[in-house]
Amino acid sequence: MSILYGRRIRLRAVEREDVANFHEWVNDPEVTRGLAMYLPMSMADEENWFHSLASRDQKVRPLAIEIHKGKGWKLIGNCGAFDLNSVNRSAELGIMIGDKSEWNKGYGAETMTLLLRHCFETLNLNRVSLRVYTENIRAVRSYEKAGFVLEGRLREAVYKFGKHGDVLIMSVLRSEWDTQTKEK
């Protein structure tokens, strides 16, 4: 897969140089508040994760998210598809915007839109879904902006910060994507 370009972002393969930033971000409680992670990660854990990427199917390897800054590119997070099912032509998506200085600028919605384009136009999927905590209102709005539709709620399905919370299931179908892209 080559680099995927959006209007203000690009998605590229994860490189060894990215590991230090990822390590910092996955240990920041503000960043991980909306993620499934809940325990600290050591640099060795992060490096083992990076080394394990080579053994994964290329279609489900995470992608680095970069934004255009000046004459270069700045790493702000990662995203990707996982649990790819070739029979049902479906996958689940995940995203982490780790660089908090770039929050609230629309990069999450743009990333998810670009990732959806990749899923439907390159991977030929029919359904793409994600899970998001109900308290992560910023993420829910971002996903809706990218075209995701609320599909259901898993009641008290997550325990974080001393309390149980609901998890929303959101998805986009190929037919919805096709309609959405024709309207633009």
At CA 143, angle to CA 137 and CA 146, rounded to 5?
Answer: 145
How confident is the model at residue 141, as a pLDDT? 96
- What gap in Å lies between CA 130 and CA 118, rounded to an integer? 15
Residues with Cβ within 8 Å of 1's Cβ and at least 6 positions away in sequence, in order, are 13, 58, 118, 122
Range of the domain at 93: 4-183
How confident is the model at residue 183, as a pLDDT? 81
How confident is the model at residue 1, as a pLDDT? 55
| Residue 12 burial class via C-beta count within 10 angstroms: exposed 0-12, middle 13-18, buried 19 and up | middle
How confident is the model at residue 96, as a pLDDT? 97
- What gap in Å lies between CA 136 and CA 94, rounded to an integer? 14
How confident is the model at residue 37, as a pLDDT? 87
Taking the CA of residue 182 as centre, how many other CA atoms within 13 Å lie in the half-sphere pointing to its CB? 6
Q: CATH number for the domain including 158?
A: 3.40.630.30
- What gap in Å lies between CA 99 and CA 161, rounded to an integer? 22
Q: How many domains would you assign to the chain?
A: 1
Residue ranges, the chain, pLDDT below 50: none
How confident is the model at residue 2, as a pLDDT? 80
